[in-house]
Amino acid sequence: METIAIIGAMDSEITNLKSKIENIEEIEIAGIIFYKGKLCDKDIVLLKSGVGKVNSAVATTIAIEIFKAKKIIFTGVAGSCNPNYDIADIVISKDLIEHDFDTSALDGDELTVLVKGYDKNYYPADKYLIELAKSSAEKVIKNNKVYIDTIATGDQFIGDGAKVKYIRDKFKAGAIEMEGASVGHVALMFKIPFVVIRSLSDKADSNAIVDFPKFVVEASENSTKIVIEMLKNMK
């Protein structure tokens, strides 16, 4: 049976899932603890990558190379980049982009391609996993909406409305976070299907510092429900 990697950036994003794993085994590599076991009769490895693009890239690489993960689900919270999206709504990755990667001063309009075979640096999530995430979210999330949209990733916690507008206008993103595109970047390099599921914890504006800790628990609980439902129905 193939192994599914489930990745979150913070403790709050994996704690609920960790408590449900059967035959759990803890393995530490590069300071990251990997929880290996069974969840919904699936072989899984669950891990907290740590915050930011480098941590999540390292964690994803280990999950693929050492634990032989054949599918990757990254779950957690994000800031809204669309004024029509509300806190606790769900954004599933259509594709992802690194909003803080910029070589324009060096090469002008020419884009430095980061992954061979992908000419726009928007990393497409796996279509089957997108649809599975969507149907699972719509089944278990009753009070909020579910969107499939572009997610923008950068090594910054955004709490500035002007910066949000800039990212939305330039990248047409619906959510902003700090790990997803680097997970997608690595997954595409290894040709491993992936999807990123984000529950919105804040509007990424001047209230983000207040909203984030207030709603992160609810947002994480929503993400957990979706992942469990996905595993139950995964082929």
pLDDT tens for each residue of 46-57: 998 888 899 999
- Number of domains making up the chain: 1
Out of 95, 177, 202, 205, the active site residue is 202
Active site residue 100: no
pLDDT level of residue 180 (50, 70, 90 thresholds)? very high
The SS3 call for residue 11 is helix
Integer CA distances (angstroms), 127 to 132, 148, 213, in order? 9, 11, 32
Q: Which residues of 41-50 are buried (b: 16+ CB within 10 A; e: fewer)?
A: ebbbbbbbbb
Residues 200-224: what's their mean pLDDT?
67
Predicted confidence at residue 109, as pLDDT, reads: 56
The CATH number linked to 117 is 3.40.50.1580
Range of the domain at 114: 3-233
Averaged pLDDT of the chain: 87
pLDDT digits (tens, 9 = 90+) for 133-165: 999 999 999 888 999 999 999 887 777 778 888
Active site residue 202: yes
Q: Is the pTM of this model over 0.85?
A: yes
pLDDT digits (tens, 9 = 90+) for 97-136: 988 776 667 766 555 667 777 667 889 999 999 999 999 9
Kindly name the residue from 13, 89, 149, 179 that is annotated as catalytic.
Answer: 13
